[in-house]
Amino acid sequence: MEDKILVLKDIKKYYTGAQAVVMGLAGVDLSFSRGEFVAITGESGSGKSTLAHVLGGILPYENGEMYFRGSPTSHFDSLDWERYRRDNISFISQNYGILPGATVQKNVVSALLLSGMGRREAQGAAEKILRQVELWELRRRRAAKLSSGQKQRLSIARALAKPAPILIADEPTGNLDAENSAKIIELLAQAAKDRLVILVTHEFPEAEDLATRHIVLRDGQVVTDTPLRPANEPGAIRTPQRKKRSMSLYVAGLQTGSRPIWAATVAAFFALTAFAVFAFLGVFIINLDDTSTYRYDSSAFPNGSKTRIVVSTLDGSPMTQEDYNALLAVREVSSLEPNGYVTDVQYAYREGVDYQVVVNHEQAGTWGEQHYVTSHATVNDSAPYAQTIPLLPGGREFLGAGRLPENFYEVVAGPGGPSIGQTIHVGFYAPAKWSYDNVVWLDFRVVGATGWGRGVYFHESVGRFLMSAMQMTQTTHCYLPQDPEAAEPLEKGTFLCSDAEKENLNRVSEVMLTLPVTDPELLTQGTTELTLVAKDRSSPIKSIHGLSNNRLLMVNAENFDALTGGLVSEQVSLTISDYAYTDRILEQIQSMGYIATSPYRLGATKQVPELAAERMQTLQICLTALIAVVALQIVLLRALFSVQTESFRILSNIGLTSRTARASVLWQILLFTLLGQLVGGAAVWMCGCNGVKRIEQMLRYLPLPYVLILSGVHLAASLLSALLVIRSMEKQVYPLAGKNRDLDLGEGKEENL
Ligand code: ADP
Ligand code: MG
């Protein structure tokens, strides 16, 4: 029995259908040796294909025993069968079993690689065999484009290329004309020189001249078994050297590369699901934070900018340069406004944008020969908040052109602001402190430009002025420095006032004298109090409108510095690059020993029911859509990958192990997922840039780590679908694994794409 490579003892095979059990083989006893060229014939349905597939280790048998090289196989598990097929079987089926999308050459090379041959060796062997079957000229043609005779020659070339001891051909000439059939039979006969060749045919005369043995089947049983001529004397068995190397990436490439349109469809599908997951989950995540459903209440801080953080020292002492440096070193802090109070004062310099001039016709009248109307300016809610020259982190350059302001009346303009040399008329307005018509109007000269931020940046002394103005009460007043370029400079110790102010002077000066004064030159001899002498002027202070005139006193610049020098803000305003960092930055600054607050958080305390309901709705929609997308991905992916089932079946017949097949599916899905994420991510980004509101908001507020979560969820959905794709592929391609599922031996079903 040792020289018998295959021995069958009472082999039975049943097909268990939905209605009935069909007998495929009804007790077959046969034995085969290498060197034989066996022709099996019989009527249609007599069990020829069943026998061929059982011998090939493709179909399981239920009864009896099949011995391979003397060893029983009934205990084989799926892995044993895989090895059996990979190392011993070359199978040629009526429907060719070639990969239609791959080239002629690739079809042969892939078989050689799968049987463990090295890459270079495989190329050489493929050439030799393709020349033998006269297909070398057509090696670059896609297999689908071949004629049926050429296709069958290719499938034989592939079977011959594999150095397996058993070659089984199930009606290989079924679709061919006589001339092509003869060529095929000839090739098979040659192959039988050193292997066992089993040919299933219903055209026995074709093989009659070359076959060494003829077996006839009927109703799943052997009717006759006739020797025709002596078998060949085969040489020693060549056991091919197997290289240990993973073929999964190669198979993945083979599956994808031979289906360009399919691959593009799948890539687009993954891009779509990535886009959907990114968009829906992203919007979902940013809506988990419900701060946007609260309305901002400006009573504590008029300026409730989301990116503003107010910092002060624990003991209320003024900040030093060291404090500034420490705060600027905090990550995502993009600038520091040393004069914290300034940030709550609005300034208006563009008529129609920041302020409106309202003419009051009812208060018109005639004065002498002149007709007049009264008018006043009102500052819009949208007017910007004031800022002095900010400190930037990491030694970043603030000034772009010109110079920094050297006195109160000089400013630097940001992008979109006025240009150097221009004079702007600016109204200051502190919404929380001053009544709406108390606007201080002053003229400023633009001396520098910056590429940073927006609007204009004031001199540090404007900060001091606004600070004293903000602290002003009904009974106090504040100072304003005179423009050093004024035509009539004020002397030390004098101030400008109107007749009306003069009347009030006594009352005002009492209060004024309680202010701290640091410059000894301002003091008159013998007293510790300052006396400012009003310079008599018949007209009111020209450049000041609003703020009850008698409470704003214009002094010369030196006096102003002396009088306000003690005003150092213990509170600074930080601008952070994104609201999303608020919690992290607040925590860090507090741990550094400061008091830090987000004015926006502080003010946003009243939830708006409509906004809250809208948020809940957004959350629900996003979650539903997300689940739908993931479900869709899982279901559709299985359908999309089902086109590979036939190729996997073909590859499995030439030695592709289920492990490699699984890995190749996983590779494909992984690579498609990553590609999809790149394309989907780019699409999300483009939507954000083109003003899709929710996505734009999401891109701005979604911190980077969450991007990983988005990719992770999409990847998880892909892996889950990969699992199902692999399971359904395995069920169909590797029926010997697990349950005994039967292959459909349907005749002439070519893999179609
Ligand atoms: P042949 O190749 O000689 O035409 P088969 O081996 O294909 O015959 O079929 C033998 C018997 O098994 C037939 O009765 C056929 O109907 C049945 N059969 C083959 N394949 C299946 C299958 N997948 N499910 C159920 N019955 C099958
Ligand atoms: Mg058949």
Ligand nearest, relative to CA of residue 46 = 1
> Is residue 749 in a domain?
no
Would you state the torsion angle of the CA atoms of residues 574, 579, 584, 587, taken in this order, to the nearest 10 degrees? 50
**745 CA distance to ligand 1 centroid (A)?**
7
CA-proximal residue: ligand 1, atom 27 (nearest): 15
Beta strands (DSSP E) in 489-618 are: 494-496, 533-535, 552-555, 571-576, 594-597, 604-607
Q: How far apart are the first and last CA of the chain?
A: 46
* pLDDT the model gives residue 172: 87
Does residue 735 have its Cβ closer than 6 Å to ligand 1?
no
Query: What strand order describes the sheet that includes 213-218?
Result: 89-92, 166-170, 196-200, 37-42, 213-218, 221-227
- CA–CA distance, 435 with 428 (Å, rounded to integer): 12
Does residue 22 have its Cβ closer than 6 Å to ligand 1?
yes
Does residue 24 have its Cβ closer than 6 Å to ligand 1?
yes
Helices 148-161, 178-191: axis angle to 10 degrees equals 0
* pLDDT the model gives residue 695: 80
What's the CATH number where 135 sits? 3.40.50.300
CA-proximal residue: ligand 1, atom 15 (nearest): 45
Q: Could you tell me the two tokens for 37?
A: 């060229």
Cα within 13 Å of Cα(293), Cβ side: 17
* pLDDT the model gives residue 217: 95
* pLDDT the model gives residue 264: 94
CA-proximal residue: ligand 1, atom 24 (nearest): 15
How many of the other CB atoms lie within 10 Å of CB of 468? 20
Does residue 742 have its Cβ closer than 6 Å to ligand 1?
yes
> Is residue 702 in a domain?
yes
Ligand nearest, relative to CA of residue 14 = 1
DSSP per position, 35-65 = T-EEEEEE-TTSSHHHHHHHHTTSS---EEE
Same domain, 142 and 264: no
Does residue 56 have its Cβ closer than 6 Å to ligand 1?
no
> Is residue 314 in a domain?
no
Ligand nearest, relative to CA of residue 53 = 1
Largest Cα separation within the chain, whole Å, is 144
Probe residue for ligand 1, chosen from 22, 94, 202, 743 as the CB with the greatest number of ligand atoms within 8 Å: 22
In the numeric block, the tokens 């340069």 are attached to 321
- C-alpha distances in Å from residue 63, one per residue of 27, 57, 66, 74, 741: 8, 15, 9, 9, 16
Q: Which of 666, 633, 661, 668 is nearest to 647 (CA)?
A: 661
Same domain, 435 and 544: yes
DSSP per position, 343-387 = GGSEEE-SBTTTEEEEEEEEEEEEETTEEEEEEEEEE-TTPPBP-
Same domain, 634 and 671: yes
Does residue 436 have its Cβ closer than 6 Å to ligand 1?
no
Ligand nearest, relative to CA of residue 219 = 1
Same domain, 83 and 205: yes
- C-alpha distances in Å from residue 423, one per residue of 23, 342, 349, 417, 456: 103, 21, 10, 12, 12
Would you state the torsion angle of the CA atoms of residues 17, 19, 25, 27, taken in this order, to the nearest 10 degrees? 120
* pLDDT the model gives residue 493: 65
Q: Could you tell me the two tokens for 548?
A: 């009850």
Whether the CB-CB separation of 364 and 371 falls below 8 Å is answered with: yes
> Is residue 587 in a domain?
no
**303 CA distance to ligand 2 centroid (A)?**
85
* Helix, strand, coil shares, percent, the chain, to 5: 40, 25, 35
How many of the other CB atoms lie within 10 Å of CB of 717? 22
* pLDDT the model gives residue 546: 36
- CA–CA distance, 691 with 301 (Å, rounded to integer): 30
Does residue 218 have its Cβ closer than 6 Å to ligand 1?
no
**60 CA distance to ligand 1 centroid (A)?**
14
**737 CA distance to ligand 1 centroid (A)?**
21
**202 CA distance to ligand 2 centroid (A)?**
9
> Is residue 457 in a domain?
yes
Pairing of strands 4-16, 21-33: antiparallel
Does residue 248 have its Cβ closer than 6 Å to ligand 1?
no
| Position in ligand 1 atom list of the atom nearest CA 25 | 10
- CA–CA distance, 164 with 740 (Å, rounded to integer): 25
DSSP per position, 391-410 = B-GGG---EEEE----STTE
| Position in ligand 1 atom list of the atom nearest CA 46 | 3
- CA–CA distance, 162 with 287 (Å, rounded to integer): 60
* pLDDT the model gives residue 469: 79
Q: Which residues contact 245 (CB under 8 A, 6 or more apart)?
A: none
> Is residue 329 in a domain?
no
Same domain, 346 and 493: yes
Does residue 42 have its Cβ closer than 6 Å to ligand 1?
yes
Instruction: Please state the separation of Cα 415 from the chain's center in Å.
Output: 33
Amino acid letter, residue 399: L
Pairing of strands 63-68, 4-16: antiparallel
In terms of DSSP H, where are the helices of 24-141?
48-55, 78-88, 104-114, 119-132
> Is residue 668 in a domain?
yes
Same domain, 79 and 131: yes
- CA–CA distance, 601 with 361 (Å, rounded to integer): 43
DSSP state of 388: B
Same domain, 457 and 546: yes
Same domain, 70 and 172: yes
DSSP per position, 205-268 = HHHHTT-SEEEEEETTEEEEEEE-SPPP---PPP-PPPP----HHHHHHHHHHT-HHHHHHHHH
| Position in ligand 1 atom list of the atom nearest CA 747 | 7
Probe residue for ligand 1, chosen from 14, 44, 216, 745 as the CB with the greatest number of ligand atoms within 8 Å: 745
**92 CA distance to ligand 2 centroid (A)?**
12
Same domain, 160 and 96: yes
Q: Is 249 exposed, middle or buried (0-12, 13-18, 19+ CB in 10 A)?
A: middle
Does residue 23 have its Cβ closer than 6 Å to ligand 1?
no
Ligand nearest, relative to CA of residue 170 = 2
- CA–CA distance, 427 with 353 (Å, rounded to integer): 13
419 sits in which H/E element: none
Backbone angles phi, psi at 408, to 5 degrees: -50, -35
**215 CA distance to ligand 1 centroid (A)?**
18
- CA–CA distance, 688 with 205 (Å, rounded to integer): 73
Probe residue for ligand 1, chosen from 50, 168, 217 as the CB with the greatest number of ligand atoms within 8 Å: 50
CA-proximal residue: ligand 1, atom 5 (nearest): 47
Does residue 46 have its Cβ closer than 6 Å to ligand 1?
yes
* pLDDT the model gives residue 237: 65
**61 CA distance to ligand 1 centroid (A)?**
13
| Position in ligand 1 atom list of the atom nearest CA 200 | 2
* pLDDT the model gives residue 65: 95
Same domain, 210 and 284: no
- Mean pLDDT in order along the chain per 10 residues (753 residues): 82 86 92 94 93 91 93 89 86 82 90 84 90 90 89 86 88 83 88 92 89 94 93 72 76 89 94 91 83 73 88 88 92 90 89 79 58 67 91 87 94 92 88 65 91 91 85 67 81 60 42 34 34 37 36 76 77 88 91 92 80 88 92 89 88 81 94 94 86 76 80 92 91 62 48 37
Write b or e for each residue in 353-378: b if 16 or more Cβ atoms lie within 10 A of its Cβ, otherwise e. ebbeeeeeeeeeeeeeeeeeeeeebe
How many of the other CB atoms lie within 10 Å of CB of 269? 17
Q: Which of 550, 415, 403 is nearest to 476 (CA)?
A: 550
Same domain, 197 and 283: no
Ligand nearest, relative to CA of residue 50 = 1
Q: Is 697 exposed, middle or buried (0-12, 13-18, 19+ CB in 10 A)?
A: middle
Among residues 568, 586, 618, which one ends one of the domains?
A: 568
Amino acid letter, residue 329: A
In the chain, the number of structural domains is: 3
Whether the CB-CB separation of 72 and 66 falls below 8 Å is answered with: yes
**In terms of residue numbers, what domain contains 216?**
4-245
DSSP per position, 533-547 = EEEP-SS--TT--SS
What pTM value is reported for the model? Answer: 0.59
Does residue 26 have its Cβ closer than 6 Å to ligand 1?
no
**44 CA distance to ligand 2 centroid (A)?**
7
**165 CA distance to ligand 2 centroid (A)?**
23
Same domain, 267 and 241: no
Q: Which of 351, 358, 355, 354 is nearest to 374 (CA)?
A: 358
| Position in ligand 1 atom list of the atom nearest CA 52 | 6
